[in-house]
Amino acid sequence: MDKKPEFIWDVGTAYDFFISLDVLHHPDRYALRGNWAAGVRSRLPAKKRELLQTIVKANAVWPIPWLARLPVPHKDVSAVLNALAAIPASERLPEMTRCYLKPAQQELLHCVAARGTWDDADLETLRDIYKEIYRKENKKRKITDDDLRVQLRTWANPGEFGEGYLAALQTYYEVFFAEDEQRILPALQETMVQAQQLTAVLTLPELLEELSQGLQFDVADLNSARRVRMAPSFWTTPLSLFMRLDEATDEWIFLFGGRPVDVSLVPGEVVPELLHQTLKALADPTRLRILRYLSAEPLTPAELARRLRLRPPTVIHHLDALRVARLVQLRLGHDGRRYAARREAVKLACEMLDAYLYVKREA
């Protein structure tokens, strides 16, 4: 790219506040211990816990685009919850989803909200809308009818949702995240400084790959980015999000890893999280074979499946584990996903193991 975009530095704990809910409800996706995640969720009163679980698992609300465009000077959790409370209860759901719903989704769901009810015809229409969206975006993602029913029920009574959702978020902040906010803020600030320094010496593709620890984008897809909102995230490390916020201004958001390699997501964890994830990934013989193939040349999941004589979903499961452990590089292009081994990650794992086992102790 000949010209770098304008960078907007958007550091705040509110991103992690919402993202942490997704992590806690999908611990396997993030290589997080399920029993710890369940313990955190159990701190919530049953009714509020069930509401958040239903909303998160059905992907009924994805507030990151709304949060990115929220005009508050400091995106800490208290400021964002106050901004949400200032929106009338019945308008909270439309406001939080306006930034990412497609026109066909908006039209249907707003009709459901106006009627205050939904039927099987709405379910079928919404299913078809998602199929068309995934087809145009070349995504093999699926959404279940149960998830669609949750979305329709939510939109059929947006006022009730607005009250319950805000109350559940406030309780979650009080019983857990307020304490974690103080723990993660220094790491986010440190990561921001490091990222700012990298923008002076790296191109946008190089910057995204470095900050995501192995995620490559097709350069052609980045040419339209005129403004990029940069937001470090402690809870998603090393997974990243790069998405367009506004087609008119070509503004994007890049959510990247903001957790140091020697710090664990679980507070008080003795064994470094990255070391544990790496060793666990390498302990599987199939993953070792995958890394051996990928060290020779980049391959797609389908190409790996043929060589390993495994079903593609099985290979993708192993690749996801290797990606979370930072052991593979992922290139996103118009021809699909292509993976390569990250040799530097294996070297780092060996150094971390040596430092952990043979740490110098004072006499």
pLDDT in tens, 187-231: 999 999 999 999 989 988 899 999 998 888 876 667 778 899 999
Rg of the Cα atoms in the chain = 21
Identify whether residues 227 and 105 lie together within a single domain.
Answer: yes
3-state secondary structure of 9: strand
- Residue percentage of the chain with pLDDT more than 90: 68
Rounded to an integer, what distance in angstroms lies between the CA atom of residue 321 and that of residue 344?
17
Interval 157-162 mean pLDDT = 95
Q: Do 241 and 119 share a domain, yes or no?
A: yes
Domain ranges, residue 329: 273-357
Specify whether 111 is located in the same domain as 25: yes
Last residue of a domain, one of 257, 282, 308: 257
Confidence of residue 363 (pLDDT cuts 50, 70, 90): very low
Contact (Cβ atoms closer than 8 angstroms) between residue 291 and residue 327: yes
pTM, entire model: 0.90
Structural domain count, the chain: 2
Phi-psi group of 326: left, alpha or beta (phi > 0 → left; psi -120 to 50 → alpha; rest → beta): left
> What's phi and psi for 299, nearest 5 deg?
-140, 155
Q: Taking residues 125-135, report their average pLDDT.
A: 91
Q: What one-character-per-residue DSSP string does 205-237 give?
A: HHHHHHHHTSEEE-HHHHTT-SEEEEEEETTTT
Q: Rounded mean pLDDT of 321-333?
A: 91
Q: Is 130 in the same domain as 161? A: yes
Secondary structure class of 265 (helix, strand, coil): coil
What are the start-end ranges of the E strands in 186-304?
Answer: 215-217, 227-233, 241-246, 251-257
344, two tokens? 């530097």
Residue 211 and residue 280 in one domain: no
Contacts of 124 (CB under 8 A, 6+ apart): none
Residue 3 domain-assigned (yes or no): no
Both 278 and 244 in one domain: the answer is: no
- DSSP lists the bridge partners of residue 215 as 330
184 and 283: one domain? Answer: no
